[in-house]
């Protein structure tokens, strides 16, 4: 009679490995560290003060662009004790440090703004090209159609003598 040998096998998914967190080397803390932004938003520090003077125009411009100031109450409990906030004045309770205020903006707005400025840049390049071609029509020196490309090179030749 033949005996059946049973092997105990477990799936690889069932195996666990103790994850060893690698120690990060010491570095000075950044004053501009911010907690992770809420889902669908992006954080940015905006200038509220420059050389001791309020920069109202910059703050109002950012607010009109779609930014919202982040108040300390909006952050999770784990950040309330570690994040600095403005103690007095117009922006009391807003997360801020060194003349900067923390603001959030929807990622959709960021994408729309990026598309807008890319289109403006394309329009400007096209206007310059059209102007050059217009001047080319009356000149005895002819320009060729503009050619746009980017080349990156590092150093000189590799020939050593």
- Whether residue 34 lies inside any domain: the answer is no
pTM for this structure? Answer: 0.61
Residue whose C-alpha is closest to residue 31's, from 102, 125, 80, 115:
102
Residue ranges of the chain with pLDDT lower than 50?
Answer: 161
Domain membership of residue 100 as a residue range:
41-105
Same domain, 94 and 120: no
What is the structure's pLDDT at 147? Answer: 67
- Whether residue 33 lies inside any domain: the answer is no
Domain count, the chain: 2
Which of 105, 135, 153 marks a domain boundary?
Answer: 105
Same domain, 114 and 87: no
Assign residue 26 a region (left: φ > 0; alpha: ψ between -120 and 50; beta: otherwise).
beta
What is the structure's pLDDT at 161? Answer: 47
Element (H, E) at 137: helix 107-137
């Amino acid at each position: 009679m033949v005996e059946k040998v049973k092997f105990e096998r477990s799936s690889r998914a069932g195996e666990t490995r103790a994850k060893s967190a690698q120690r990060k080397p010491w570095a000075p803390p950044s004053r501009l560290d911010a907690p992770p932004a809420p889902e669908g938003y992006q954080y940015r520090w905006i200038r509220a003060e420059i050389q001791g003077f309020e920069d109202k125009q910059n703050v109002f411009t950012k607010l009109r662009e779609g930014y919202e100031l982040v108040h300390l109450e909006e952050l999770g409990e784990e950040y309330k004790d570690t994040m600095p906030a403005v103690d007095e004045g117009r922006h009391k309770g807003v997360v801020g440090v060194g003349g900067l205020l923390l603001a959030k903006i929807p990622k959709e707005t960021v994408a729309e703004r990026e598309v807008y400025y890319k289109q403006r840049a394309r329009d400007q390049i096209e206007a310059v090209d059209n102007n050059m071609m217009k001047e080319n029509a009356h000149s005895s020196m002819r320009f060729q159609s503009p050619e746009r490309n980017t080349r990156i090179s590092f150093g000189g030749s590799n020939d050593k003598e």
